Structure 1
Amino acid sequence: MVFLGGGMPWYAQFGCGGGGCDRIRYMKVVLQRVSQASVDVVNELGDLDPTFDLQQIGPGFLLLVGVTDEDGDDEIAWLAHKILRLRVFEDEQGKMNRSIQDIGGEILSVSQFTLFADVRKGNRPSFVGAGKPEHADIMWIKFNEALRSGGVAVREGRFGAHMRVGLVNDGPVTIVIDTADRH
């Protein structure tokens, strides 16, 4: 068991103990710098869903977005601002010094409740930390609109659907951004 100063278990800082944990969850994004990415939707038969047009981007970000029930407009604004200004594209000297806005890149946003998987007990993940679908869908739409307001083209998967995501990592550069980081 890992202890913090004073002999406290690591989980004590989150109000966890015994058999459960009531730690606060935060909106989370897994950002991947890509040279291209795409998403399509699969229907219940395992075929491509004809009601969904393949969404594709060129250079930019693939975002896997997880939302909790506690997330609101403040988390969306902070996260969108951070992503739009994150300097992870190379400049003329080969240094990561340019943002997605600087390069005119695109974003592919995919809702991903499994980012909140809890695997501490047993072998089947629990997703109780993920936001309820009716809230998470609204927050994801607002998040995508906040990104668009920064002048970046944003393509989307379909909320709650079985999707196939394809990507070509560039770097690779993969960054996990959690709104807890703003505190």
Structure 2
Amino acid sequence: EDENDDTEEDGLSFVTINASEEEVSEGAIILPPHVELDYLAEYCKILRPIAVAIDRLQGQISCYYAILVGFEKRFSSYLELKTDVNEAILATVTHPFFKMRWLPPRLSGDRRRIHQLMLHSAGDLGLVAESEKTSSDLQDDEEDDFFVFSAEETQVQERQEITSHSKAELETLRFLEDTRKDLISLQ
């Protein structure tokens, strides 16, 4: 006989299916392969501590202040967006699903700093891409520089820096304003 029993163990729900061997052999009930069952069992085993921790943090009865203090102490730099977690901030901002949507209203003043951080990182990446020129490209640039006088040379360099900064800024603004949440928005 088919029976779905919901059992509760440590706040977690499990569903069990009781079926006779006859029903399984007749094809009335199709069981997943053992590999899939083993995978699901391992998945539940690995995620169990996380599920229990979330249940405890969300619990209204058994959530103690000591648990929250430890959590706040460990993750305070992340919660306050301090400069030592800039890599984590950049990882979140550059993910198409999150962008700046994750920023809580109380930290909305940090939007400008995060945007500047993103621009600075984009500039760093641009410099890395420019430094990967081949030796023949560098030699051609040196030959062209022979005809450029010093005053004009600095103006050309300044225009190139402004252009590259403007391109990086436009590209990051375009990315942040894009409402799409999928990876296609990165193209």
Q: Same fold (TM over 0.5)?
A: no
- Higher helix content, 1 or 2: 2
Quick one: higher RCO (CA 8 Å, sep 6+), 1 or 2?
A: 1
Q: Which has the higher strand share?
A: 1
TM score, norm. by length of structure 2: 0.28
Structure 1 length normalisation: TM-score?
0.29
